[in-house]
């Protein structure tokens, strides 16, 4: 009798199942590749190009059509004028052409140089247009009564133009200028440092607040669900709403509520510019330190906005810990803080580690919050805000893409650490 | 009563509560009544201290509710006496009703805090266990007060600012009192102006369209994908279920430049269609991850039974899997809706025309010196209310959605 063995090749059922799986996954693959992974790679390409924001509008043949002088009576001989120009300041256009159909009732006279006429249609071939080049093409026409009656004017039918131009993005020229610009300035290292401060303290702040809030709501009492809902507000509300609420609350000008409160309480003499002041010097033991005020404020905002998330996770984990361990500890005489330190915290270590790593990456990625609060001013410019600054505020897409590449590389580094240390299937 | 370490610590607890409640109630009084007050924090601190000492004596004679009432009354009398009839540093003649009410709330809060905080302690020295319990009560109490205020204050300021006018706010930024006699049209003037002059009706509509379609598209893509990853065997299945997480660690800001370049040239930039391409792409991985986790938890015997009885795979998904996973679908849908509704970056980068603005983009456009700030806050309220209402309505689903898939934010 032969021993039964598992099949060595894939059966048709198995192949059909795999095929079905691929069919079901294809839409997801397509959209994720084209919108996420594609652009990710495209950044590397753009970062090697000397491309400015204005270059995105590729060179085009612009045309403005008019009839002059204005025809008054049948039999007038007037001109249809095409103002042709190259929209680009730098790029020539090759193979520039123009096609336009004139309304009935205009009898076209002699075709101007480079143009041909067939029926009511004028076609011109201009060859190459130099950058900024502009000129007029005049087509003589004779006006008939039909034109004056029908009310259709030459402009109603847009002239069609074609032309080819070089696109900076698709050219094969490469440059390292963008990266040199990014790394050259002393600013880059400041930005990187601010990014790390923001990420580390924002993450830790959110975790500690979340841990504290979870302790508060771990015991059952009346109104607990209401409080839990309230504690989630900062996370659920749109970032624009809460960011602007903070901006108005912390406003240093007249009308700033929080500063008015502090002054009223006698905490400070004048308003504190929480979001606009880079550093506050203070002296301890004869040494002067600088306290980064605006950065601290945005970190506080980050902790305020994201503590609900860690709070939810920690609370869920705490409620799955059985009560027996605490009962045993009580009998052994452990005090509440000892219980927290020796039972709760070790139980929560897994979820805290996962939360820390994920939140760390997400805080590092954060753009909206700082952008809306300070716009990256007053020493709060992180790498992500720098991408925007370079690409859109300074209109240098290439440099922005170079910073984005740096962001991605730093992130990859974090992600590798995360996957190395993440416990399997936890969280 | 007995004297010991807790007598001292009890007085510390009382002093802390005295100071905290004076600050909280004082600020609240300012915000609600518009009165400019000078909360006598150090007096309140002393009052709390004495009250705590007194509570040890009170408890030797009375218990329970009676003791609580006596403490509250003592706090009120003490406050009035110690501040010479000016409980909040200004004469009682100004807005007396608000002041008396605030003084009563303060007394009740202080009395209750001292009573509950020291409940079961006589003042005698206690074991470390009982001492830590005392500290824990104080910390928890303070935690509740501080968390609630810190979370709620920005929202309170947001709503109240939207109902005020610029002049009154500049005159006294602490005055959030609402004059209800002015009538609805005047009270809600900012909102009315936003809808009539600032196109907020269009913005609201655009945001709703984008959010709903994002949910629909995301589910249409993610359900089959999640099912395939969870149930079907194919090469790369394990790799996919792990690596899908990686995708939602890609920051949006890194995608913005290439997408901006491509969308500009493809004419997709200034359109809702463009957003409807980008939003689902960023939410599908999250949705797929959440759903596949749920699908895995369903008993596969049910589906196998369906297959045995002659259903096709598609039939199994439609007739067995999906009806069973309605709670998960609801969580995912709400979560995706929330992401799409709140999204700021792409809306800000891509949209230029007023007709295309979503609420996020619209509110940002109000952030200029020419637009009064009550309009900005009214815009923020309009953007917040729908998503908060939805959240409170479906809190159960959303909370499980948040915990299931989202460490994203």
DSSP string, A233-293: HHHHS-HHHHHHHHHHHT--STT-HHHHHHHHHTS-SS---TTT---EEEEETTEEEEE-H
Report helix, strand or coil for B248.
coil
Could you tell me how many helices (H) and strands (E) chain A has, helices first?
A: 15, 10
Which tens digit of pLDDT belongs to each residue from A168-218?
666 777 778 888 888 877 788 889 999 999 999 999 999 999 999 999 988
Q: What is the DSSP string of A31-47?
A: HHIIIIIHHHHHHHHHT
Cβ atoms of residues B145 and B24 within 8 Å:
yes
Residues forming a β-bridge with A99:
A123, A160
- Rounded CA-CA distance A208/A211 in Å is 5
Average pLDDT (A403-426) is 78
DSSP string, B7-37: HHHHHHHHHHHHHHHHHHHHHHHHHHH----
pLDDT of residue B400: 65
Q: Hey, are the CB atoms on B249 and A415 less than 8 Å from each other?
A: yes
φ and ψ at residue B187, rounded to 5 degrees: -65, -45
Cis preceding-peptide flag for A69 (omega within 30 of 0): yes
Beta-carbon-side half-sphere exposure of residue A269 (alpha carbons within 13 Å): 0
Q: Which of A31, A257, A397 sits opposite B284 (nearest CB)?
A: A31
Q: What is the pLDDT of residues B350-377, one digit of tens each?
A: 998 888 899 999 999 988 888 888 899 9
DSSP classification of residue B88: T
CB contact under 8 A, A261 and B30: yes
Determine whether B92 is exposed, middle or buried from the number of CB atoms within 10 Å of its CB (0-12, 13-18, 19+): middle
Q: How far apart are the first and last CA of chain A?
A: 50
**Which is it for strands A121-129 and A134-143: parallel, antiparallel or unpaired?**
unpaired
Compute the residue count for chain A.
427
Alpha carbon A417 to chain centroid, angstroms: 25
Asked if A358 is an interface residue toward chain B (Cβ–Cβ < 8 A), one would say yes
Q: Does the beta-carbon distance from A337 to B136 stay under 8 Å?
A: yes
Instruction: Categorize the per-residue pLDDT at A426 as very low, low, confident or very high, splitting at 50, 70 and 90.
Output: very low
* Closest Cβ opposite residue A21 in set B169, B234, B261: B234
What pLDDT, on a 0 to 100 scale, did the predictor assign at position B401?
A: 62
Q: State how far the Cα of A108 lies from the Cα of A102, in Å rounded to an integer.
A: 9
What is the tally of helices (H) and strands (E) in chain B? 20, 0
Contact A397/B257, CB-based, under 8 Å? Answer: yes
Spatial separation of the C-alpha atoms in residues B192 and B202, rounded to whole Å: 14
Chain B positions touching A337 (Cβ under 8 A) are 132, 136
pLDDT category at A383 given cuts 50, 70, 90 is very high
C-alpha distance from residue B153 to each of A245, B21, B176 (Å): 9, 16, 12
Establish how many alpha carbons lie within 13 A of residue A249's alpha carbon, considering only the half-sphere containing its beta carbon: 21
Query: CA of B259: which chain A residue's CA is closest?
Result: A39
Q: Quick one: pLDDT at residue A427?
A: 39
Rounded CA separation B361/B203 (Å): 8
Give A189's contacts (C-beta < 8 A, 6+ positions apart): none
* Interface mutation vs chain B, best among A215, A240, A407, most B CBs within 10 Å: A240
Asked if the domains A59-166 and A179-421 are classified in one and the same CATH topology, the answer is no
CA torsion sign for A200, A201, A203, A204 is positive
Mean pLDDT of A147-155: 78
We find that the CATH architecture of domain A59-166 is: Sandwich (2.60)
Give the DSSP H or E segment for A316: helix A293-319
Judge contact between B174 and A274, C-beta under 8 A.
no
C-alpha Rg value of chain A to the nearest Å:
34
Distance from CA of A251 to the nearest CA of B (A): 10
Collect all residues of chain A within an 8 Å Cβ-Cβ radius of residue B225: 24-25, 27-28
Beta bridge partners of A127: A96
How much is the ipTM here? 0.90
- What residues of chain A, 37 to 56, have a C-beta less than 8 Å from chain B? 37-40, 42-43, 46, 51, 56
Which portions of chain B are predicted below pLDDT 70?
1, 398-409
Q: How far is B363 from chain A (nearest CA, A)?
A: 7
Return the domain boundaries, chain A.
59-166, 179-421
- CB-facing half-sphere around the CA of B194: CA atoms within 13 A: 28
Using pLDDT thresholds of 50, 70 and 90, give the confidence band for residue A219.
confident
pLDDT digits (tens, 9 = 90+) for A297-323: 999 999 999 999 899 889 888 887 778
Residue B1: predicted pLDDT: 64
| Residue pointed to by tokens 């108005």 | A248
DSSP state of B310: T
Q: B49-52 long-range contacts, Cβ below 8 Å, gap at least 24?
A: B49/B11, B49/B12, B49/B14, B49/B15, B49/B18, B50/B14, B50/B78, B51/B14, B51/B18, B51/B75, B51/B78, B51/B110, B51/B111, B51/B114, B52/B10, B52/B11, B52/B13, B52/B14, B52/B15, B52/B114, B52/B118
Chain A hits for B407, Cβ within 8 Å:
309, 313, 354-355, 358-359, 362, 427
CA A403/CA A397 separation, integer angstroms? 10
Q: Which of A17, A39, A260 sits opposite B234 (nearest CB)?
A: A17
Q: Quick count: other Cβ atoms within 10 Å of Cβ A69? A: 9
Measure the CA–CA gap between B40 and B14, rounded to whole angstroms: 16
The verdict on a CB contact (< 8 Å) between B30 and A264 is: yes
- B173: nearest CA partner in chain A: A255
Considering only CA atoms, which of B244, B246, B272, B394 is closest in space to residue B333?
Answer: B394
Contact flag A40-B280 (C-beta cutoff 8 Å): no
- Choose among B27, B147, B154: nearest Cβ to A242: B154
Main-chain dihedrals φ then ψ at residue A218, nearest 5 degrees? -75, -30
**% of chain A at pLDDT higher than 70:** 96
- Residue B155 is predicted with a pLDDT of 93
Q: What is the dihedral of CA B241, B244, B245, B249, to 10 degrees?
A: 170
Q: What is the C-alpha to C-alpha distance for residues B307 and B5, in angstroms, rounded to an integer?
A: 74
Three-class secondary structure assignment of A276-297: CCCCEEEEECCEEEEECHHHHH
Interface check A415 vs B, CB under 8 A: yes
Distance CA A39, CA B255 (A): 6
Query: Is A267 near chain B, with CB under 8 Å?
Result: no
User: Element (H or E) spanning B147, and its range?
Assistant: helix B128-162
DSSP 8-state class, residue B86: -
- CB-CB neighbors (< 8 A) of B363 in chain A: 240-241, 244
Q: Which residue of B lies nearest to A396 if distances are taken between CA atoms? A: B257
Question: Given A31, A254, A309, which is nearest B280 (Cβ)?
Answer: A31
Better pLDDT: A1 or B80: B80
A100 three-class SS: strand
Q: Running DSSP on this structure, what letter comes out for residue B180? A: G
Q: Which domains does chain B have, with CATH numbers?
A: 5-152 (no CATH), 191-405 (1.10.3720.10)
**CB distance from A367 to chain B under 8 Å?**
yes
Q: Which residues on neighbouring strands pair with residue A281, listed in sequence order?
A: A290
Tell if the CB–CB gap between A248 and B157 is shorter than 8 Å: yes
Interface of A with B in 127-186 (CB under 8 A): 169
A72 lies within 8 A of chain B by CB: no
Instruction: Tell me, yes or no, if A336 comes closer than 8 A to chain B by beta carbon.
Output: yes
- Chain A residues close to B261, C-beta within 8 Å: 42, 46, 51, 56, 169, 397
Quote the tokens at residue B97.
């009703």
Which two tokens mark B143?
């935690």
* Fold of the domain spanning A179-421: MetI-like fold (1.10.3720)
Across the interface, of B257, B373, B380, the residue whose CB is closest to A241 is B380
CA quadruple B180, B184, B188, B192: dihedral, nearest 10: -170
List the single range of A5-9, A31-35, B38-42, B151-155 with lowest mean pLDDT.
A5-9
Describe chain A by its helix, strand, coil percentages, rounded to 5: 55, 15, 30
Does residue A1 have a pLDDT over 80?
no
- pLDDT for A167 beyond 80: no
- Any bridge partners for residue A138, and if so which? A81
Beta pairing partners, A97: A125, A162
Angstrom distance (rounded) from CA B360 to CA B253: 16
Determine the residue of chain B that is closest to A238 in CA distance. Answer: B342
Instruction: Give the span between the Cα atoms of A408 and B249, in whole angstroms.
Output: 10
Which residue in the block uniquely carries the two structure tokens 């067995």? Answer: B320
């Amino acid at each position: 009798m032969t021993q039964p063995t598992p099949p060595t090749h894939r059966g048709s059922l198995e192949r059909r199942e795999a095929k079905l799986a691929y069919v079901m996954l294809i839409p997801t693959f397509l959209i994720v590749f084209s919108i996420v992974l594609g652009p990710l790679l495209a950044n590397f390409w753009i970062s090697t190009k000397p491309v400015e924001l204005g270059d995105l509008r590729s060179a085009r043949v612009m045309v403005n059509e008019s009839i002059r002088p204005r025809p008054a009576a049948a039999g007038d001989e007037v001109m249809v004028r095409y103002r042709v120009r190259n929209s680009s300041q730098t790029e020539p256009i090759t193979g520039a052409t123009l096609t336009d159909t004139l309304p009935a009732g205009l009898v076209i006279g002699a075709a101007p140089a480079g143009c041909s006429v067939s029926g009511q249609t004028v076609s011109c071939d201009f060859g190459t247009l130099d950058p900024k080049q502009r000129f007029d093409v005049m087509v003589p026409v004779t006006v008939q009564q039909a034109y004056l009656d029908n009310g259709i004017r030459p402009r109603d039918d847009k002239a069609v133009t074609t032309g080819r131009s070089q696109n900076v993005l698709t050219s094969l020229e490469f440059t390292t200028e963008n990266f040199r610009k990014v790394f050259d300035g002393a600013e880059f290292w400041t930005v990187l440092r601010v990014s790390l401060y923001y990420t580390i303290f924002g993450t830790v702040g959110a975790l500690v607040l979340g841990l504290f809030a979870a302790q508060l709501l771990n015991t059952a009492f009346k109104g607990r669900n209401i409080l839990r809902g309230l504690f989630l507000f900062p996370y659920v509300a749109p970032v624009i709403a809460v960011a602007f609420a903070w901006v108005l609350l912390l406003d240093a000008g007249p009308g700033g509520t929080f500063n008015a409160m502090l002054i009223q309480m006698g905490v400070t003499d004048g308003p504190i510019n929480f979001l606009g002041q880079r550093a506050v010097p203070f002296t301890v033991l004869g040494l002067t330190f600088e306290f980064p005020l605006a950065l601290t404020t945005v970190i506080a905002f980050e902790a305020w906005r994201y503590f609900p998330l860690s709070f939810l996770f920690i609370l869920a984990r705490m409620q799955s810990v059985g009560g027996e361990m605490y009962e045993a500890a009580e009998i052994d005489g452990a005090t509440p803080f000892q219980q927290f330190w020796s039972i709760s915290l070790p139980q929560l270590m897994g979820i805290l580690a996962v939360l820390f790593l994920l939140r760390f990456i997400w805080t590092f990625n954060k753009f909206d919050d700082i952008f809306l609060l300070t716009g990256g001013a007053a020493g709060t410019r992180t790498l992500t805000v720098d991408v925007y600054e370079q690409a859109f505020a300074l209109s240098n897409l290439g440099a922005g893409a170079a910073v984005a590449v740096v962001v991605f590389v730093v992130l990859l580094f974090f992600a590798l650490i995360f996957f190395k240390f993440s416990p399997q299937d936890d969280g | 009563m007995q004297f010991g370490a807790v007598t001292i610590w009890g007085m510390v607890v009382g002093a802390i509560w005295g100071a905290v409640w004076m600050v909280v109630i004082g600020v609240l009084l300012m915000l609600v009544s518009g009165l400019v007050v000078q909360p006598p924090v150090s007096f309140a601190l002393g009052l709390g201290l004495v009250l705590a000492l007194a509570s040890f004596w009170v408890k030797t004679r009375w218990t329970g509710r009676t003791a609580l009432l006596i403490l509250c009354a003592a706090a009120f009398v003490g406050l009035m006496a110690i501040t010479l009839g000016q409980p909040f540093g200004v004469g009682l003649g100004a807005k007396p009703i608000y002041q008396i009410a605030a003084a009563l709330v303060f007394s009740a809060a202080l009395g209750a805090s001292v009573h509950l905080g020291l409940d079961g302690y006589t003042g005698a020295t206690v074991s470390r266990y009982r001492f830590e319990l005392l500290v824990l009560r104080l910390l928890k109490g303070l935690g509740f007060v501080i968390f609630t205020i810190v979370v709620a204050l920005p929202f309170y300021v947001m709503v109240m600012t939207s109902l005020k006018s610029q002049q009154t706010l500049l005159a006294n930024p602490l005055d959030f009192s609402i004059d209800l006699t002015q009538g609805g049209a005047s009270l809600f003037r900012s909102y009315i102006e936003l809808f009539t002059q600032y196109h907020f009706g269009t913005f609201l509509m655009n945001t709703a369209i984008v959010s709903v379609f994002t949910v629909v598209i995301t589910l249409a893509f993610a359900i089959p994908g999640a099912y395939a990853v969870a149930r079907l065997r194919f090469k790369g299945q394990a790799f996919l279920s792990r690596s899908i997480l990686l995708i939602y660690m890609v920051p949006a800001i890194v995608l913005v430049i290439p997408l901006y370049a491509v969308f500009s040239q493809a004419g997709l930039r200034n359109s809702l269609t463009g957003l409807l391409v980008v939003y689902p792409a960023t939410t599908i991985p999250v949705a797929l991850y959440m759903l596949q986790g749920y699908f895995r938890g369903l008993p596969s015997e049910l589906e196998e039974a369906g297959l045995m009885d002659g259903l096709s795979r598609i039939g199994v998904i439609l007739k067995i899997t999906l009806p069973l996973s309605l709670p998960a679908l609801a969580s995912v849908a709400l979560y995706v809706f929330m992401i799409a509704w709140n999204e700021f970056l792409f809306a800000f980068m891509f949209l230029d025309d007023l007709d295309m603005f979503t609420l996020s983009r619209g509110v940002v456009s109000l952030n200029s010196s020419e637009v009064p700030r009550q309009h900005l806050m009214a815009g923020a309220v309009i953007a917040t209310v729908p998503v908060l209402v939805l959240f409170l309505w479906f809190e159960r689903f959303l909370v499980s959605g948040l915990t299931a898939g989202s460490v994203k934010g």
